[in-house]
Amino acid sequence: MLQLVAIVLLNLFPVTSQVQRELKLSETEKWKLSWRMIISSMEKNYELGELQFDSLLMTKSKTDKKFILTGLEILKKNSKEETFTKILKGLDSETLEFLCGRNLINKTSTEFSYS
């Protein structure tokens, strides 16, 4: 029984370490990751772009609006509507206004309540 507990704990440790590392990205690392996500989008590698966007969202600092825009466009292209809507609902009004101006979302859309 003790061996089973040890195996489970050892398997969870790398996941925990990775999450903590991603949450502590320096501003330079975050900036580089953001631009790699844009490059992934341009190369139509949406799976990688989605992973990069997810990593950006896991950081504690605010993500620039242009990177949020690219990440949400990637989610739309990957048909991840549920994730797209979940992220939208967590955004501040300034970012939402920016996204409306870029025709990513529509203020009158029935799928998203804008206030």
Q: Is residue 87 part of a domain?
A: yes
The band of 49, judged by pLDDT with boundaries at 50, 70 and 90, is: very high
Q: Which domain holds residue 36?
A: 22-101
Tokens 């859309």 belong to residue:
109
pLDDT tens per residue across span 9-22: 555 555 444 444 44
Q: Is residue 48 part of a domain?
A: yes
Q: Is residue 42 part of a domain?
A: yes
Q: Is residue 35 part of a domain?
A: yes
Q: Is residue 12 part of a domain?
A: no
Q: Is residue 7 part of a domain?
A: no
Q: Is residue 58 part of a domain?
A: yes
Number of domains in the chain: 1
Q: Is residue 88 part of a domain?
A: yes
Q: Residue 109 and residue 13: Cα distance in Å, rounded?
A: 43
Helix (H) or strand (E) holding 112: none
| pLDDT (0 to 100) of residue 101 | 85
